[in-house]
Structure 1
Amino acid sequence: MSNLERDPVELTCPPDVPDGPVVQVLEPREVPLGGPRAMNVRRTLPQRGRTTIGAWCFADHYGPDDVAVSGGMVVPPHPHTGLQTVSWLFEGEIEHRDSAGSHELVRPGAVNLMTAGRGISHSEVSTPGTTRLHGVQLWVALPDASRHIGPFFEHAETVPVAIGDATVRVFVGSLAGSDAAVTVFSPLLGAQVDLPAAGRVEFELDPSFEHGVLVDVGPVAIAADGADAPTEVARSELVYLESGRRRLSVSAPRGPARVVLLGGVPFGEELVMWWNFIGRSHDEIVEYRRQWQADVVGRDNPDGRFGTVTGYEGAPLPAPELPTVRLKPRS
C-alpha cells in the first residue's frame, strides 16, 4: 500500500528511549487513501514519539469497509525503497502486481510480503468480487546491510494454532513453536490473535524484543510483567511494550476480540522515511524521488531503478512535492 498523503512528513528514526508507563497506548490518526470516495485508514506508526517497533515502521488498519460505499482499495503503481511491505487481511481479497513480475492475490489466512530492497514499484487493488475489505498494511525497515538487495516477492499460507483460549496465526517470524514461511532480515514477529468472549491468552515474550499490540476487534485488556494492573485498549489503538518484558497477557472482557501482535529487536540504525521511500539521508530521498518522477512517471526509462508494473491499466502515482527546506526530524 502507498502512503497517499500529499504532504508527508520526513521522519528520522529511531526515536528517543521512552520514559513512561510499562503499557503505552498510541492513538491512531485517520488518513484517506485519496479521491472523493477515499477509503480511510487508521495509522498508528509512525507517529510523534514512536516511529518503530523493532523494524516495523508503518502500520495502517482499515475496515471493515463496505466496498460499494468506499470504492475499495485502488492504489496505482508506486515506488518503495529500503523496506518490506506486509499485507494481511481479515476480510476481502486484494490483487498485487509488481515490477519484479509478481502477480498474486492475498486473502485472509495468507500473507503477501514484498521486499523492495534497492527499489520496486507495485499496485494493489481489491478484486471485483470483494464486498467488504478489512485488514492491516505493515512496513518493515531493512537494515543497512540488506537494503540494497534485489527486489522479490513471497506469498505464504499460515496455519492456525491454539495457545490458551486463543487461535493464533503467525505470518512473520516465530511464536510458541509456530514459524512463518517468509524471509525477514532482522529478528521479527507478526501474528494474528483471536479470542472468544471472556477468553484469555498469555505469551512468553523474547525479552530482547520490543512489542506492539494493535487492536482490530475489542476492547482488550493488556497486562505485562512490571505493570500494576491491566490496561484496557480500544479498537485501532496500538500498545507499545519496551524490551525486557517476558510475559504478556491479552483478554477479551466484553466480547470476542482480535489483535495483531508485533515484535522485534529495537531498530538501532538511523533512517529517513518520506512518502514511500526509506533511506539514510535527505539526499538519498531526493534522488529516489527524482528517479521515480523521471523514469516511471515521465516514462524516460521504464527499466530504471523501479521498473514498471505490467497488467495495471492506469497511470503510476506521481510523488508529492518535496519540502522546500529540510524538515526538522521528529521523534
Structure 2
Amino acid sequence: MSDVTADPRVTVCAAEATGGPVSELVEPRRVRLGESTEVRRLLPSLGRRMVGAWCFVDHYGPDEIAAEPGMQVAPHPHIGLQTVSWLLSGEVHHRDSLGSSALVRPGELGLMTAGRGIAHSEQSPDPHSPLLHGAQLWVALPDEARDVAPRFEHHTDLPVVTAPGLRATVLLGDLGGAASPGRVHSPLLGAEVVLGSGAAGVLPLDPDFEYAVLTVEGAPRVAGREVGPGTLLYLGCGRRDLALEAGPASRFLLLGGVPFPEQLVMWWNFVGRSGTEVTEARETWQREVAEGRGDRFRGPARPRSAAAPGRWS
C-alpha cells in the first residue's frame, strides 16, 4: 500500500523503546488513500515512530464497497522495507514488477520484501465482496538486508494458537511455539488475536521485545486497559505475558519486536538512511514514469528536506 498524500512528511525514526512496561494510547490520523479508501494511520505518529521493526501501520474499514470500486492503488515503488497485507474482510489483488499476481483473502499473508526496489499495485477485484476491512503494515529492513533481492510470498496456511475463548493466528515470527512461514530479517512478532464474548486469557511474551496492540474489532481490555477500535496501545518492553479480557467479542493485532537499533529516514514509500537516498529513489521512479512504463502513480514532489537509488525490478 502506498502513501499517496500530496506532500508526505519526511520522518526520522529511531529506537525509542521504554525500559519497562508502559500503557500509552496512540490515536489515529485519517488519510485518504487512492480513489475511495480512507485509512487510520497509527505509525509513524508524533508520539510513537516504531514498535520493533514495525515502522508503518494503517487500519482501514470496514467499508461498504458493494457499489464502489474498493481499493484502487496504482503501481508505486518501495525500497528498504517489507509490506504485510492482512485482510479481515474482502480481498485485494496484488501485482508486482516481479510478475507476481495473487488474490489475498482474509487469514492469508501477503508479504512483499522490497529490498533494493520493487513496484506493486493493490486493487479490489471485479467483482468483489461487499465489505473491505484490513491492515497494511511495513517492517523496516536492517542495514545488512535492505539491499536484498525483492520477493513476494503468499501464505494461505498460517499457524494458529488456541486456548479457551482465544484464537491467535501468527502472521510473522513465533508465538507460543507456533512459527510463521513468512521470512523476516529481524526478531519480531505479528499476530491476529480473536477473543470470544466474555473470554479472558494470557499470551506469552518475550521480555526483550517491545509490543503494541491495534484493535480492529470490539474493545478488549489489554493489560487492564480498554482499547477501542482503530486505536493502538503501546505496551513497552519487559513483559513476560499479556492479560486479556473481552466483553463483546473482539479482535486485535499484536505487534512486537526487538527495539530497532538504526536511525531511519522514511519518505513516501521509501525507507532509507538519509534524505539523499530517498530523493534518489524518487528520481529513479520518476524517470521510469516518464518513460511510460504502464499506468504508474507519478508520486509527490521532491521532499523538501533531503543514500543508493531504488531499482524497480
Unmatched 5+ stretches in structure 2: 307-313
The answer to whether residue 295 in structure 2 is matched with residue 288 in structure 1 is no
Q: 3-state SS of the aligned residue for 2:143? A: coil
Q: 1:89 aligns with which of 48, 71, 87?
A: 87
Provide Cα deviations, 1:167-199, integer angstroms capped at 9, x if missing partner. 111011110121111100001111111111111
Alignment of 1:1-331 (within 5 A): 1-14=1-14, 16-18=16-18, 22-35=22-35, 38-68=36-66, 71-128=69-126, 129-157=128-156, 158-223=158-223, 230-253=224-247, 255-295=248-288, 297-299=289-291, 315-326=295-306
Instruction: Report if aligned partners of 2:161, 2:169 keep a CA contact under 8 Å in 1.
Output: yes
1:272-322 Cα distance to aligned partner (Å, 9 max, x none):
000000110000011000000012x1117x6xxxxxxxxxxx610012012
Tell whether the 8 Å contact from 1:39 to 1:70 is kept in structure 2 after alignment.
Answer: no
Q: Aligned AA for 1:82?
A: G
SS in 2 for 1:145: helix
Deviations 1:66-113 (A, max 9, x none): 113553100000000000000011111111000111111111111010
Q: Which amino acid aligns with 1:238?
A: L
TM-superposed deviation, 1:16:
4.0
**TM-score, length-normalised on structure 2?**
0.93
Return the alpha-carbon distance in structure 2 between the equivalents of residues 18 and 192 of structure 1: 24
Distance (whole Å) between structure 1 residues aligned to residue 5 and residue 59 of structure 2: 15
Distance (Å, rounded) in 2 between the aligned partners of 1:113 and 1:153: 6
Once the two structures are overlaid, the 10-residue window that deviates more, 79-88 or 64-73, is: 64-73
Q: Displacement, 1:21?
A: 7.5
Summarize deviations over 1:99-146 as a string: whole Å, max 9, x none: 111111111111010000000000000112222111110000000000
Q: Is the 8 A contact 2:8 2:267 kept in 1?
A: yes
Distance 1:7 1:20 in 2: 36
What is the TM-score normalised by the length of structure 1? 0.88
Q: Distance in 1 between matches of 2:160 and 2:18?
A: 34
Count of paired positions:
304
CA shift digits 1:34-93 (9 cap, x unpaired) = 33xx21111100101311100000111111111135531000000000000000111111
Q: Structure 1 residues 145, 325: CA separation in 2 closer, same or farther (over 3 Å shift)?
A: closer
Alpha-carbon displacement from aligned partner over 1:247-276 (angstroms, at most 9, x marks no partner): 2112112x1100001110000101100000
Provide the residue aligned with 1:307 in structure 2. none
C-alpha deviation, 1:202, in angstroms: 0.6
Q: What SS does the corresponding residue of 1:294 show, helix, strand or coil? A: helix
Q: Distance in 1 between matches of 2:212 and 2:100?
A: 30
SS in 1 for 2:138: strand
Q: Is the 8 A contact 2:117 2:150 kept in 1?
A: yes
Give the share of equivalent positions with the same residue, in percent: 49
| Distance apart, 1:166 and its partner CA | 0.5
Deviation at 1:244, TM superposition (A): 1.1
Supply the distance in 2 between the matched residues of 1:70 and 1:287 (Cα, whole angstroms): 36
Q: Which residue of 2 aligns with 1:226?
A: none
Write the letter of the residue equivalent to 1:68: A
Cα deviation for residue 159 of structure 1 reads 3.7
For structure 1, which segment, 81-90 or 18-27, has the greater mean C-alpha deviation from structure 2 after superposition? 18-27
- The whole-number CA distance in structure 1 between the counterparts of 2:42 and 2:11 is 14
Corresponding letter in the other structure for 1:160: V
Q: Using the TM superposition, give the Cα deviation of residue 325 of structure 1 relative to its aligned residue in structure 2, in angstroms.
A: 4.4
The letter for the 2-side match of 1:287 is E
| Range 23-32 or range 77-86, more displaced | 23-32
Bigger drift between 150-159 and 317-326 goes to 317-326
* Counterpart residue number, 1:308: none
CA distance in 2, matches of 1:8, 1:46: 12
User: How far off is 1:30 after superposition?
Assistant: 0.8
SS where residue 22 of structure 1 aligns?
strand
Q: Please report the RMSD computed on the Cα atoms of aligned residues, expressed in angstroms.
A: 1.7
